[in-house]
Structure 1
Amino acid sequence: MSGSGEGPDNPAMMMVSRMHARHGVLLDAYRHVIADSSVLHLGAEDGRWCYAFASAGALQVVGVEKSAEQVSKFTRYPDIGLRERIDLRCADPMEELSAEVRAERRYDVVAMFDLLEDVADLFLLFSHIRALGPRLVILDGVFLISQDPVLRIVSQPVPSGEGGGGPLRPRAVPSPRALEVIAEALDFELEWIDWTQVPEDGRIGLADYFATHGEKRASCTLVPRDL
């Protein structure tokens, strides 16, 4: 198997391997913070990560997902005493985040996966997150491979199930350095997660984390420096 993350041509195997690897890197490594915490998950999709945060010991998990179709899928997960800790809301993540800030809510952990590309004003996004008083922010998404602090606007087709075939939807893809500049301005300590810690034989389905041209998926944590 190559170190690029390419694995056997088996979609089911790739999906399972990817899921296990992402849980290990993005969740299991931070169980000591997640346990007994309140979690806000922006871009919660069908609630699978909300379920995972609750399984990791979070006492309260608020998930925010814009797609009603995705939110409706949450009911397929078994109720094993975790759902009572989860509040999955169908709402625009930025609007809900703003509302939580106005209501002076506080969260111990903020998780944000696959949301950056839908937000043009990243400074406002992270300013709102900072106002929630988190001890930890976990971020995973797509970044432009560039050494410069840039934000590139690109277009992509609307995903199937959301009116595919219509106008292209703009995406705002930041470079890692752009996020670092914002973190510095808001007094966050940013640390990039090292995906090479995943053994080569565990990288099935993770090729996007090891891309070398154009865009790549990357992850990081942000911790307020005044903690």
Structure 2
Amino acid sequence: MDRFRLFLLIRKLKPKLIIVDSEFMRHPESMMMLVSELASNVLNAIPQYEGQERAIKAIPSFKAMWHMAEALGFIFEWVDWNARAKDDRRGVSYQWP
């Protein structure tokens, strides 16, 4: 749920590339929406304690994500997978220097 802390920790690793495949809220303001979901589903948020049935997750707006990236000195590019032509969805590749 704490994306800023996660990216702060990632920053310490000095990666050349970070890919964030996530859900984002389409809201013009910088905000996070909290939702609860079943922790038993492996695609959902993980439980924070044994026996927890519902876990909380935060969904950031695009602007919130932009503020976090800017504060941490990241350069980023938004890519909307659904906006790409179906024949241009080849996946992600990176050439190491």
1:160–1:185 CA distance, 2 compared to 1 (3 A): closer
1:160–1:127 CA distance, 2 compared to 1 (3 A): closer
Kindly provide the amino acid, as one letter, of the partner of residue 30 in structure 2. Answer: P
Equivalent residue, structure 2, for 1:171: 57
Equivalent residue, structure 2, for 1:135: 16
With normalisation by structure 1, the TM-score equals 0.32
Q: Deviations over 1:190-215 (max 9, x none)?
A: 1001322233x889xxxxxxxxxxxx
Kindly provide the amino acid, as one letter, of the partner of residue 85 in structure 2. Answer: V
Q: Percent identity?
A: 36
Determine which structure has greater relative contact order: mean sequence separation of CA pairs < 8 Å that are 6+ residues apart, divided by chain length. 2
Q: Gapped runs of 5+ residues in structure 2?
A: 90-97
Measured in 1, the distance between the counterparts of 2:55 and 2:76 equals 29
Find the partner of 2:28 among 137, 141, 147: 147
Q: Deviations over 1:123-150 (max 9, x none)?
A: 2111111110111111101112211111
SS in 2 for 1:156: strand
Measured in 2, the distance between the counterparts of 1:159 and 1:202 equals 35
Kindly provide the amino acid, as one letter, of the partner of residue 84 in structure 2. Answer: Q
Measured in 2, the distance between the counterparts of 1:160 and 1:129 equals 26
Find the partner of 1:187 among 73, 91, 95: 73
8 A Cα contact 2:40 2:53, kept in partner = no
Find the partner of 1:197 among 81, 84, 88: 84
Q: Gapped runs of 5+ residues in structure 1?
A: 1-118, 204-227
Alignment size in residue pairs: 81
SS in 2 for 1:137: coil
Equivalent residue, structure 2, for 1:100: none
1:189–1:160 CA distance, 2 compared to 1 (3 A): closer
**Higher strand fraction (1 or 2):** 1
Kindly provide the amino acid, as one letter, of the partner of residue 180 in structure 1. Answer: W
Measured in 1, the distance between the counterparts of 2:16 and 2:23 equals 23
**Higher helix fraction (1 or 2):** 1
SS in 2 for 1:126: helix
Structure number with larger C-alpha Rg: 1
